[in-house]
Structure 1
Amino acid sequence: MSGEFQLEVRGVGKSFGELDVLRDVDLAVRPGEFAAVIGPSGSGKSTLFNIVSGLDRPTSGEVRVDGQVAFMPQKDLLFPWRTVLDNTALGLEAQGVRRREARRRAAGLFEAFGLDGFQSSYPFQLSGGMRQRAALLRTVVLERPVLLLDEPFGALDSLTRTEMQLWLADVWQRYRWTVVLVTHDIREAVLLADTVHVLSPRPASVVKRIEVPLPRPRRAEAVTEPEFAAVERRVLDARNWAVR
């Protein structure tokens, strides 16, 4: 694959019987880039993630990834009978890392993820936002170069969602992972991403790639700036054009 990109999706199509879900999807993400994928409900965003993560195979086209992919689904999927620390170490243990070492590596991220002091707590004792942080920590501790985030804040209330978006922007600024975020929220996409890829309705293809030239770090007040509104409008226009 090209050394310019960490992830390349080239001409990917996916059909389930006679149902075409994806058609000729092209998507390229550079190392350290935060990319957002936005599209209407049922357009195949999650199907695309399943293919990129290796959970499914494309009917046509190819996916090339420089390194391995870590996938965080919409639900946190924390096990209620395991402590938060044990939950965050679970992925490492599944890869064969010894339990003591897995817990040590996960524990080293608790402060950065705002979870310090909750290592021995259980998921029911955490807020929705904290559960999502734990789920992301479990994903990140695998140390894979590409992170796929499938609407991670979709189930949160508006206030918590905004708080988590700003937190993710800050923690990404610190670690500079290569991230692909699926979302239906245009404001979330513009606030977090370097590029926004707009999908058409099913069968989905990328109809527009929009650069987000806003300075970082981005704060809550960024959404009130004219430059932010201008990018939002470009994404909205592209989405509206795609669904006509």
Structure 2
Amino acid sequence: MTDPIILKNTSKSYDPKTWAVQHVNLRVHAGEFFCIVGPSGCGKSTLLKLIANLEEPTEGKIEASNRTAMVFQSGALLPWLTARDNVGLGLTMQGLPRERVTRAATRYLAMVGLKPFGSRFPRELSGGQRQRVGIARALAIEPEVLLLDEPFSSLDQMTTEELHRDLLGIWQQNRLTIVMVSHLLDEALLLADRIAIMRQGTMNTIVPVQIGRPRDPHGQPFITQLKRLKHLIASTK
């Protein structure tokens, strides 16, 4: 199967003196869960926007599947639409019949555990529920690639752990290709097949995760690889 994401010497500049992304070469494999980590301002979210075709590269080339959906940090729901209508928004914009949109939206709400909440508005949902709606909306268009920009950063630990389990279940069930940006090494290690480390716009290190699934964040294999990752990051500063 062809790799759904290929970046060739990709760079992004917002002015002649500032490079947000510099000379990134990357292949993300079909069905892979790929995480990008790094400090704030390192270019990881910019890189995700380039993959999503929300921004154009200044230099280089990007080959990405045209069946791509993105989940933003805030959920980015429309406040005047119900959860069900938010999930079906992409299908509505494609011109599908209302009945078909409603069936699909209900199905994907059920997939993220929110079928009883379809008639609620975003203001009536918790932060975790809003993020689940955002994930369901992305899944409803049946993407090949799912892009996630720090989707759990504003949630409490218990909700985050629940969503980690949900996301892994959805990924394994649908065999999506997932690219997720995170600023947390332990989150990336829990979820990813490979982890890319970004610093100052560059991606010089990609680390395969050598732990089987399901992963125990309190187990020795997890703790050992987490220490190695932290040491690797410290040594490349």
TM range (shorter): over 0.9
Shift of 1:179: 0.2
Indicate the larger mover: 91-100 or 72-81: 91-100
Q: How far, CA to CA, are the matches of 1:48 and 1:8 in structure 2? A: 12
Could you tell me which residue of structure 1 aligns to residue 230 of structure 2?
Answer: 236
Are 1:53 and 2:64 an aligned pair? no
1:77-92, aligned counterparts within 5 Å? 77-92=76-91
Could you tell me which residue of structure 2 aligns to residue 10 of structure 1?
Answer: 8
Q: How far, CA to CA, are the matches of 2:76 and 2:2 in structure 1? A: 34
Is the Cα–Cα contact under 8 Å of residues 26 and 205 in structure 1 kept in the other structure?
no
Indicate the larger mover: 97-106 or 87-96: 97-106
1:217–1:67 Cα change, 3 Å = farther
Could you tell me which residue of structure 2 aligns to residue 33 of structure 1?
Answer: 32
Indicate the larger mover: 96-105 or 140-149: 96-105
Shift of 1:4: 4.4
Are 1:194 and 2:193 an aligned pair? yes
> What is the total number of aligned residue pairs between the two structures?
236
Shift of 1:234: 2.6
Gapped regions of structure 1 (runs ≥ 5):
none
For residue 213 of structure 1, the aligned residue among 185, 210, 219 is 210
1:108-119, aligned counterparts within 5 Å? 108-119=107-118
Shift of 1:227: 0.9
Is the Cα–Cα contact under 8 Å of residues 33 and 193 in structure 2 kept in the other structure?
yes
> Scaled by the length of structure 2, what TM-score is found?
0.94
Indicate the larger mover: 98-107 or 133-142: 98-107
Shift of 1:71: 1.2
Q: How far, CA to CA, are the matches of 2:50 and 2:75 in structure 1? A: 20
Structure 1 counterpart of 2:225, one-letter code: V
Is the Cα–Cα contact under 8 Å of residues 190 and 212 in structure 1 kept in the other structure?
yes
SS in 2 for 1:42: coil
Q: Percent identity among equivalent residues? A: 35
Gapped regions of structure 2 (runs ≥ 5):
none
Are 1:227 and 2:221 an aligned pair? yes
Is the Cα–Cα contact under 8 Å of residues 88 and 101 in structure 2 kept in the other structure?
yes
Structure 2 counterpart of 1:212, one-letter code: V
> Scaled by the length of structure 1, what TM-score is found?
0.92
Q: How far, CA to CA, are the matches of 2:235 and 2:186 in structure 1? A: 18
Is the Cα–Cα contact under 8 Å of residues 208 and 238 in structure 1 kept in the other structure?
no
| 1:152-195 CA-partner distances (Å, limit 9, x unpaired) | 00110122112211221222222121000000011110001100
